[in-house]
A and B are shown apart, each in its own frame.
Chain A
């Protein structure tokens, strides 16, 4: 009994700041902005935002996949290094996370803008100015840059846990190093891949700051729309409905991804 009391503070916190706000979101999503009476109007109007939803999913999925392609070799290399070196490399990966997310995104702006550092350098050798931002590519760049550590962390943990004797066993049974990777290392790192994809996809799909700073008019994400409903359009009811839809979307995506591992290990990391 006493042990259960220890989780009390957390339960109160959860209740106050997660459960009650969720209830409020639900309430707003199903009420009219002017009269406050029950309505399905907000939900019905979600269809208008389908293209933005799709773009958000598409850009964050692409970012998650790029993170995987970039992050896997990094995680693998760190896991193979000497234990003393591993800590240092791991620290390097984590280092950018010590700096504010907003500052890091702003730094990209000053790098990429028309009068930014890169364009001035290119200008001095007679190239440009190139249009490096205000497009989807820049949004993906921002997402990959900001969320890459979330991909490397679970991958590194999973690759570290693979028993080196399994690698030896595969070599013993005739695998060259490419076959060892394909037949043993990759399947065994699947839980890490799934939780990495999830940990990149979930924050990326709901972000608004990255697209506002680095994206153009054609790369508005669902996070931006939600933000504007609350801050500019003064329609918290529609904002709540959009948030609800986003939440459902994220849950569906996570459930689909977890089907691939067939165990609940990756759910636990969420």
Chain B
């Protein structure tokens, strides 16, 4: 089950002197669902292309089953790819698209028919054999692209933002679908996305990347609950990040007050970043909490309200199901397990301050995505 299949050792990549990957070390186990997660330009797609063989790293080794495969061209690798925007062959119908790889491998037509039909069942597209790919919807093209790759029974399936072009509803369905297919076929999936929710939903392991470097590798729970630095804390979900000082093991001081926490192993009086997730904060009457602040803005989000609370001039984002009108004085309580301590990093001070919060905050990510798609279309 957990046998190592692919390893990237000290892999670096530069285009015309511009470093896009810096010393990547990563191993991927057999039958694992691994997600490369990061903002656009973080190097996640380049990492995928290196594994697929479309790009040769400028330094380092790519190992497959312990064998170095840097110089093996894509058509000789036991890896198949589901491309962004699918890249289905427009001159072939659905059946011939899926059969493409098998025909290249010179399988008999009987065997091909059997495997194509089997794959159409897996992706729920039986009856579409004769259709032109241009006449399919985005979600259907997506399924055919997955079938075309999986029919070759690769050891590893690479997926490059395969759900990016689908609408929200379809995306959620396909997330569940992909996870089901991966478990059914028992093969390794390497999935690239910039959508943190997608990554948390589907992955066994998440690799968070930024600026060509790996920021953290871990299970979805680890990444969410124990982010290694301010970048990860901010990129995965929302976080309030404050400056604190470790006074002793399990004791942190911020806002001039000591709090009990569960982290240890820091030096005495070491400056640290303190992460408090907006949903972990308990709201209590103004005089009954650890801290007291004023509500400055309220946004209805459906399941909960996003409220911004001003504590000593530092604004926090708090998520609550109880409506708190603007101007209310509220108190908060923090339990030891709600406080997560991180070492200072180059990202300290860049994230986690909601002083300039606006209701559009959440949509920034979507807008970036839309721009990316537009650029591609041009």
Q: What residues of chain A have their CB less than 8 Å away from a CB belonging to chain B? A: 163, 165-166, 168-176, 179, 183-184, 187-188, 190
- B12 interface contact, C-beta 8 A: no
- B83 interface contact, C-beta 8 A: yes
- B340 interface contact, C-beta 8 A: no
**Contact across chains for A172 and B74 when beta carbons are under 8 A apart:** yes
- B75 interface contact, C-beta 8 A: yes
Contact of A187 among B73, B91, B104 (CB under 8 A): B91
- B80 interface contact, C-beta 8 A: yes
**Contact across chains for B148 and A173 when beta carbons are under 8 A apart:** yes
Q: How far is the CA of A175 from the CA of B73 in the complex (A)?
A: 10
**Contact across chains for B80 and A173 when beta carbons are under 8 A apart:** yes
Q: Which residues of A contact B91 (CB under 8 A)?
A: 187-188, 190
Nearest B residue to A184 via CB reads: B89
Given A174-B104, A174-B152, A176-B75, decide whether A169 and B54 contact each other with a Cβ distance below 8 A.
no
Q: How far is the CA of A155 from the CA of B152 in the complex (A)?
A: 33
Q: How far is the CA of A173 from the CA of B75 in the complex (A)?
A: 6
Q: How far is the CA of A114 from the CA of B367 in the complex (A)?
A: 72
Contact of A173 among B73, B85, B90, B152 (CB under 8 A): B152
Q: How far is the CA of A163 from the CA of B152 in the complex (A)?
A: 23
Given A179-B104, A183-B100, decide whether A171 and B87 contact each other with a Cβ distance below 8 A.
no
Q: How far is the CA of A190 from the CA of B92 in the complex (A)?
A: 13
A158 to chain B minimum Cβ distance, whole angstroms, is 12
Q: Which residues of B contact A188 (CB under 8 A)?
A: 90-91
A172 to chain B minimum Cβ distance, whole angstroms, is 5
Q: How far is the CA of A165 from the CA of B81 in the complex (A)?
A: 11
The contact size tier of chain B is 20 to 34
Q: Which residues of A contact B74 (CB under 8 A)?
A: 168, 171-172
Q: What would 6 more interface pairs be, CB under 8 Å, given A168-B74, A171-B54, A175-B75?
A: A171-B75, A172-B79, A173-B80, A173-B100, A174-B104, A188-B90
**What are 17 A-B pairs with beta-carbon distances under 8 A?**
A165-B84, A165-B85, A168-B54, A170-B100, A171-B53, A171-B54, A172-B52, A172-B54, A172-B79, A172-B81, A172-B149, A173-B75, A173-B152, A174-B101, A174-B105, A179-B104, A184-B89
Q: Which residues of B contact A187 (CB under 8 A)?
A: 91
Contact of B73 among A166, A171, A183 (CB under 8 A): A171
Q: Which residues of B contact A190 (CB under 8 A)?
A: 91
A82 to chain B minimum Cβ distance, whole angstroms, is 12
Q: Which residues of B contact A176 (CB under 8 A)?
A: 73, 75
Nearest B residue to A163 via CB reads: B87
Q: How far is the CA of A179 from the CA of B75 in the complex (A)?
A: 11
Given A173-B104, A173-B152, A175-B104, decide whether A165 and B75 contact each other with a Cβ distance below 8 A.
no
Q: Which residues of A contact B90 (CB under 8 A)?
A: 166, 188
Nearest B residue to A165 via CB reads: B87
| Top 9 closest pairs, chain A to chain B, by CB | A173-B101, A165-B87, A169-B87, A174-B104, A171-B74, A187-B91, A172-B81, A174-B75, A171-B75
Of A174, A179, A183, A184, most B-chain CB atoms within 10 Å: A174
